[in-house]
A and B are shown apart, each in its own frame.
Chain A
Amino acid sequence: MSKKILIVDDEPNIVISLEFLMKKEGFEVAVATDGDEALAKVAEFNPDLLLLDVMMPKKSGFEVCEALRADPDRAGLLIVMLTAKGRDTEVAKGLAIGADAYVTKPFSTKELVVKVKDMLGLA
């Protein structure tokens, strides 16, 4: 059974690439475009890994991450934060509130795929 990935980002131009890429790599993919939708999709779609953008309308990636980490049922969910904020302080915050990895835009798609597979134990 293939692993499920939920892509959360409000920028369609990056979502289209990520969706294409992850599908090509054989994952089952769903998309959410804001924080609230992300929480709903997590419950509904039950993903193994989240690609989570930080800067989003309604709820920021940080808030979504915190909400998910507060739910013990989701302890196994992997979260990779994607962000256009490159400052050290934000990386530190993301990791501190429970993200498993932090990727700064622009990033290499190859490396992202490797990292995702590695985290899901598929490497």
Chain B
Amino acid sequence: MKAKVRFLLAIIVLGLLMTGPFVVTSLLVWAGMEETERNMLLELLMSRLPIGTMMTIFGFGIGVAVLHKLFKQYVEGLLGMAEQLRLMLSANRNFRVRLDGPPEVQQLAQAANDLAAQRDMLMDDVDSRIAQANASVEEEKNRLAALMSELAQAVVVCNLDGRILLYNNRARLQFKALSQGPTTVAGGALIGLGRSIFSILEKNQVEHSQEIIRQRLISGKSALANFVTTTRGGQLLRVQMVPVLAAAQEEGERQMTGYVLTVDNITRTLEEEARRDQALHSLTEGSRAALGSIRAAVANLIDYPEMDAELRERFVKVVDDEAARMSQRLDQTMHDFSDSMKTRWPLEDVLAMDIISAAQRRIEDKLKLPTKTEEVDESLWIKADSFSLVFALVFIAERLQDHYQIRDLRFRTVCEGKLAYLDLIWVGQAISSETFYTWEMETMQALGETSSLSLRDVIDRHGGEIWYQREKAAHRAFFRFVLPVAIPEAEIHDERRSTGRPEYYDFDLFKFEDKSIDLDRKLSELTYTVFDTETTGLEPSKGDEIIQIGAARIVNNRLLKQEVFNQIVDPERPLKPESIPIHGITEDMVRGQPNIDIVLPAFHAFCEETVLIAHNAAFDMRFLQLKEDRTGLRFTQPVLDTLLLSAVVHPNQESHKLDVILERLGISIGTRHNALEDAVATGEVFLKLLPLLEEKGIVTVRQALEAAEKTYFARIKY
């Protein structure tokens, strides 16, 4: 508008310039004239006035046209260019100024475009550098996570509130084995990102260790603390804590922002130690009394040879009795504690088959000696120092090849109670016991390497034996290694290993402080449990029951597919045949599964301190609520319903069925209609809905709950 006003002003000025000088001159001339001259002039002018006026109007018209043109090109053109430049500056980086108008304006536009191009190059460069940096940070994180997940030690990283930020696979398996109840139910529920470590470890002990570390940090000692704690299941854990320190600031001590815990289950080690102590005790203290009686009786017999026969008889009997008792005790102790009293060399539990395979590979590759196995028990575990044992096997193979020209070597295992026999069999000439004795005693050499041990040392290290035996009928002979059988600690196989990289870490939780569920927290910051149930039917009030609960966790905007709850429940009533095709759960599958009294507490623990999410949540919640009286468990946390949230975001869509929403939001999920898969799908939907809700100004849990309540679908009640 301002430009328009200026344009009008310019026209007025033009008009005045064209008429003003003539009018002023005329007035001056007019003023200096006589009456007659004026009349003459009037007469002369009046007749020619129309032409003059026309010429003036014509000239004015041309002037306005020129002015207009200039105005269009320079003023309005530049204004337009300014708008385009603004566009380039903010909304659309790729926009370029159109080149039109007079050459000067075009040059200006070109210069602006060139500047924009230069700016884009710089910005792209910055972006790519940021992306690069992010990628390398991500890569480092992944490398750390991968490294951690392969560690044989259980490692858990927590922030100062005791929230778990990172844990490795070993920790997951170890705590899973520790968790109470049927392991499938607990399903590693205790450990999870954002969960409290205090559900596993005693809070006071952890805090005490934190305090010790702070003290040590202040006094400049190495910051480290150890403690031993008992789990609810009676297992003993040795825990080591080291601090995670904030990046160094200028001066002063570095702040502790969290800690790393390494956890060892020492229950078995400790039990073994206790048994060893007991054995030692029984052999020493236990012998004192008997020996005391014998010694006193013998002393009397010697000191008083003149005693009468009956008395002598009694003293002799004392000696006899006590000596017999001592022998018996010795046998008993050896029998009971033989395992504990053997070598203290740290032996690991290994599959005998693994030892044999390792030895076979080396013998075949390096000695070019064919090998075979016969009657090998694939599930036989032994306690062994596998390196020295394999070395011993290869050593014997090489000796046999060199001295007895054997053509192949066979392996066999036999299990006899607490002992495992590992046999090395060959066909051919018998060896003398002297030869074997030398083999046993000299330091071993195999494949050009020398061991510091002799075969005998290796055997002693295992608390085992070795001998040479012949099978005359078959013209064969064998060396028999006797080794202790191991009972491996319950090995839990990781069934979810294949599903991509595990999400065992979340460093953003370092900032996570508030523990309780605050309704005014942002939706994207909360921890959720998305869950789904399969039921025998649709009418909980008429006795329909839950037959499966599936759930996954959302922490820091990520759906954690590793931290899931998946349990079939025995409904303790027959399934309806018509419902079986829907949930795919058969009578056979529910039989022998825990009932809801066992599963619900585990699920309750799994959802602790999280907001619940379900699709058509009212339905699932109704089933849970009907069990409140029976189990005494109440699910009091806020519940979000993806059906209602979808209706909030897309009020004009007819259907808000899970399948339809999945398609609408472009989420592809494999199979469905299994509680866990549906729960995961619901979680994906929720994460997609979050930005759409934010567009509608729904950011907090409270806002989401309020908006959901207002939708039409919220009025349907179960």
Contact = CB atoms under 8 A, between A and B. Distances in A.
B10 interface: no
A55 B292 CA distance: 14
A11 B292 CA distance: 11
B296 A104 contact: no
Interface string B278-303: 00000011101101111111011001
B288 A13 contact: no
B295 A84 contact: no
A85 interface: yes
Interface in A81-113: 82-86, 104-110
A84 to B, nearest CB: 4
Contacts, number: 69
A113 to B, nearest CB: 10
Interface stretch (A15-23, A30-38, A42-50, A115-123): A15-23
Q: Determine the main DSSP class of A at the interface with B.
A: mixed
B288 A108 contact: no
Interface stretch (B311-319, B573-581, B585-593): B311-319
Contact of A104 (B288, B311, B318, B322): B288
Given A85-B285, A110-B299, A17 B318 contact: yes
Contact of A14 (B284, B293, B307): B293
A16 B318 contact: yes
Given A84-B289, A106-B288, A109-B300, A16 B314 contact: yes
Contacts of B465: none
B289 A105 contact: yes
Contact of A109 (B288, B296, B322): B296
Given A84-B288, A105-B288, A13 B295 contact: no
Contact of A17 (B288, B291, B300): B300
A109 B289 contact: no
Given A20-B311, A24-B304, A109-B303, A13 B293 contact: yes
B321 A13 contact: yes
Interface centre among B292, B294, B299 (most CB of A within 10 A): B292
Question: Chain A interface: which size bin?
Answer: 20 to 34
Contacts of A24: 304
A79 to B, nearest CB: 18
A17 B297 contact: yes
Nearest to A20: B300
B405 to A, nearest CB: 60
Nearest to A13: B293
Given A105-B292, A106-B291, A107-B292, A13 B285 contact: no
A14 B285 CA distance: 16
Contact of A106 (B286, B292, B300, B304): B292
B377 to A, nearest CB: 46
A29 to B, nearest CB: 14
B285 A106 contact: no
Nearest to B302: A109
A2 to B, nearest CB: 19
B300 A21 contact: yes
Contacts of B289: 11, 14, 55, 84, 105
A106 B297 CA distance: 11
Nearest to B322: A13
Given A13-B297, A16-B314, A105 B291 contact: yes
A24 B311 CA distance: 13
Minimum-distance CB pairs A-B, first 7: A105-B292, A17-B296, A84-B288, A13-B293, A109-B299, A106-B292, A84-B289
6 contacts: A14-B293, A18-B296, A21-B300, A84-B292, A86-B285, A109-B300
Interface of A: 11, 13-14, 16-18, 20-21, 24, 55, 82-86, 104-110
